[in-house]
Structure formats: C-alpha cells, structure tokens
Amino acid sequence: MKRGFRQSLAVLAGLSLVLTAAGCGNAGNGGDGNANTSEKPANANAAQNQGEKEKTKLVYWTYQRHDAEYIKQKIQQFNETNEANIEVEMTMMAENYPQSLDLAFTSDQAPDVFATQRPAEFYAKGYFEPLNGYLTDELKSKFGSFLREGSNKFEDNVISLPNVGNTIRLVYNVDMFEKAGLQPPKSLDEMVAAAKKITEIGKPDGIYGWSLPYKSPSSALDRSAAKIAEMNGFHRSGFDFKTAKYDFSGWKPIIEAFRQMSADGSVLPGSESLDMDPMRAQFAEGKIGMYISYSTEAGVYNTQFPPKIRWDATLVPTIDGGEAKGAIDPAASAWLSMSSESKHKEAAWTFMSYMYQDEIMRGYHESGLGISVLPHILEGAKEPSTPGIQNFLPTEYDAAWPVEPQGIVPEGKTWQEQFTRYILGGGNLDETIGELNASYNAALDKAVAGGAVTVTPDPSFDPAALRK
C-alpha cells in the first residue's frame, strides 16, 4: 500500500517546483550550492564536511508562488547562519496542495513545516503539532490577540501564528476602462454593465470584461462572491450569526450578477478550465477587463507576470452601490505549521522562530508580498512600494469577523460548486439556495447534536459595527 502511495506522491512531485535553499549552505558556506570552497582554509573545509554529516534536514512545503524569491532568500540565510546545523529545503507545490498534503501524510512522507491550509479539516486529521509548548511569553504578547478558536487554535491547541492578512479588491485593466469611458463599478449592476461594454469593445482583440478561475469553484468564489457578500453584511461561509443558521438568501443578487456576465458572453472563454496563475497571465496580457482577488496580486505582477497594461485595484462593489453593510475579513490567522509527524520538531521550531522574526515579517510587508495587520510589525514599517499595492492597503472596510462553526460539510455539493454550476450554466437560483440552506443546516444540526460544535444566536449582531 505504501509503495503505491509513494508512487502517487512522486507523480504529484513532478507537478511541483522545488526551490532548494538547502545546499545553499550551512553555517559559514557562502550560500551557493556550487560555491568555490578553494578559498577557505583547509580546517574550515574539514569542519564543514564534518558538519554536513551531522546536519539536520528539514523539508518545508508551500503553495505561495508570489513570495517565493523572498522566502527562498530568507531560508538561504537561515541555512548559512543558524548555529544548530539545520538545513531547510523549500518545495513549492504547483497545484493540488491540499491533496498533496493528504497523500504525504498518508504515505509517511509529510514535510516538517508547511504553509497552513484548511486548518479545521487538517486539525481533525491530526496533521498539526500544537505549538503551545513552544510559545514564549514574548510571542504570546505579540500574537495573543490574533489566536482565535476555530481559526488558528482548536481545542486550545495553537496550530499556527499569523503573518499577514489578505485584503480583497476588484482588480481592473485601467487601459480598457479608459478606452470604454468607464469608472470602476460601485454597484453590481455597474459591474455587469462594465463587463459587457469592455467585451463589446475588446472582443475583436480577444479581450473580455470578466474572468475568474472557475476550474476550482472554491478558488473562484471564495475570493470574489464570498467577499462581496461580506462587504454587504453576509458572512463568507453563509452562516448567519443573528440566527445561528446558514442562510444564503442574501447572496442572490451577487450570484445573479455573476450569472448575467456569463450569459452576456462577458466572461473570458475557457475560464471554466483556468487555474489562477494562467488567468493572471491572461490579465497581464491585457485580455481581461476585471476580476476580484487578494492583495497578493501586487506581488504576483511585480515578480511573476509583468503586465503589458496599466492596472489598479478598488473596493469591491456593494449590491446597490450604497454604503457597505459589512466589511471584508483580512483573515490574518495562519502562516506556518509544524507537522505532527516531523522527526525533528525542535529543529522545526528553530526554523519557524526564525521566520517569525519581526525583521523578516516587516520586510515581507514592506516588499508588498502581503499586508500585515500585526501592530508590532506595522510599528515603524515603511509603506510598501510595490506597484499596485497602494489601493490594497487596509481601510475601514477591512475588519475581522467572528469565526463561523468549523468542520460543517454538507451532503452533496458545496455552495461554491452549486453556485458555480448556476453561474456557468443557469438554472433555478431560488431552488439552489433552498437546497444549500437545507443541506448546510442539516450538517450543522448533526454537528451540534454530536457535540462537535456549539452555536448560539446573537440577534444583536451588526456586521456594520465590525468597522468601528
């Protein structure tokens, strides 16, 4: 059985990009795996060779491409300077990161440290080593207010510390908006109309008004429809804190707008088969008028896909163009986690402590790779200079929401899958919403009855008050 898993993992590894900061040096090595050591004293070479035999090797997995060069440099510095004789190898998984983690843990090939994803699901699977025993008083003071049950803490077990949050904005092609005589949309109707007009003008050149990476419904809608919902006072999960029930009814005009853009032919052809990076490449080429995504886009277009167009970002629209009834959660909850299966946990924590240093995290923010929401990082930090980052910087419309019930998995399709099917193919939206409300509340009731979660209605909950 394990041999089969290893063979499958090898196939997945073939889809990944391995950025090896390991081999870039141990303590005293110049940082180049091909470094010429002839200039070093003989005794230094002997000591290095001895050290290599005793080196503790750690494997770090990540799915974040936009910050790869920055993190690679920091890992290289760690490998060259740490006094614990630890060497870290960084592996970037190109696609299917959660599935790759599942396979790695099942086949006894889990990384020692990995970028956190799906915290509730992976906590239930036992992938995380609790960090409680490693946290110093200083770290508790810095991060304590950002440790939230159901977010980066489960059953009081801390599974990760935050680095940055991700603001969400509507990203748009300035050139096409100017050519079409348009301003960035403030309402859903304006968004639909803008997508249609850009398509009418740009279609002869293969330019369309709208796109999302619909190949993955969760990737497409978690970054867009769910965030418009939050701006309009509805939690991204569909959970209503006032009633302690799921209710997607308020999402109807949002999903209808997405459907209308599809029905109008305003969506880039092939979007249903696009992952995020190929879609970004199309935007950089000038083929997409607008889409909605995270503040990481600034780093992406600075390092991965140099754009051939002028682009900018603005707040996502409200339903009617009026004042927002909520705020978008920047989700500053998790960054690095330690594997429960690591055979080198002390070494893993040494590496994690290094990565959570103020200097590294402040540099991450200043480089425009992510937006920090941590006071001790923002204090004294320079404003990021990355082109395009300015309109991603936090405003009053970026604020944390309470944590919704965790681990609620409905029978049948998820809301992302159901809504994407409707957006691309049509159907009866009222029936779809009714089915989702029924399936999610059935799953919630089952979880409550089994003692997995506890929910309490809060009739006074006001999403607009999150901004105060």
**129 and 216 within one domain:** no
One domain, residues 20 and 83 = yes
Average pLDDT across each block of 10 residues of the chain; the chain has 468 residues. List them in order. 42 45 37 34 46 82 91 98 97 86 96 94 95 96 87 94 92 98 98 98 98 96 98 98 98 98 98 96 98 92 94 98 96 92 98 97 89 88 88 91 90 97 98 98 97 95 93
173-204 residues labelled b (16+ CB within 10 A) or e (exposed): bebbbeebebebbbbbbbbbbbbbbbbebbee
pTM for this one? Answer: 0.76
- In a shared domain, residues 57 and 105: yes
Task: Note down the domain range covering 49.
Answer: 2-163+332-382
Angle at the Cα of 122 (from 16 to 18), degrees rounded to 5? 15
153 and 40, same domain (yes or no) = yes
Domains: count for the chain: 2
Which helix (H) or strand (E) is 449 found in, with range? helix 429-449
150 and 230 both lie in a single domain: no
* 10 located within any domain: yes
Residue 53: predicted pLDDT? 60
Q: What is the pLDDT of residue 448?
A: 97
AA identity, residue 157: N
Q: What is the pLDDT of residue 47?
A: 44
Which of 382, 416, 450 is the endpoint of a domain? 382
Q: How far apart are CA 127 and CA 124, in angstroms?
A: 8
* CA dihedral for 438, 443, 445, 446, sign (positive or negative): positive
**145, 24: one domain:** yes
Based on the domain organization, do 158 and 225 belong to the same domain? Answer: no
- What distance, in Å, lies between the first and last C-alpha atoms of the chain? 55
| Pairing relationship of beta strands 56-62 and 86-92 according to DSSP bridges | parallel
DSSP string, 193-261: HHHHHHHHHHGGGT-EEE---TTSHHHHHHTTHHHHHHHTT--TTSEETTTTEE--GGGHHHHHHHHHH
Determine the pLDDT at residue 23: 42
CATH number of the domain encompassing residue 324: 3.40.190.10
Query: What is the predicted pLDDT for the residue at 20?
Result: 47
Residue 279 backbone phi and psi in degrees, to 5 = -70, -40
Q: Is residue 115 part of a domain?
A: yes
Do 196 and 340 sit in the same domain of this protein?
no
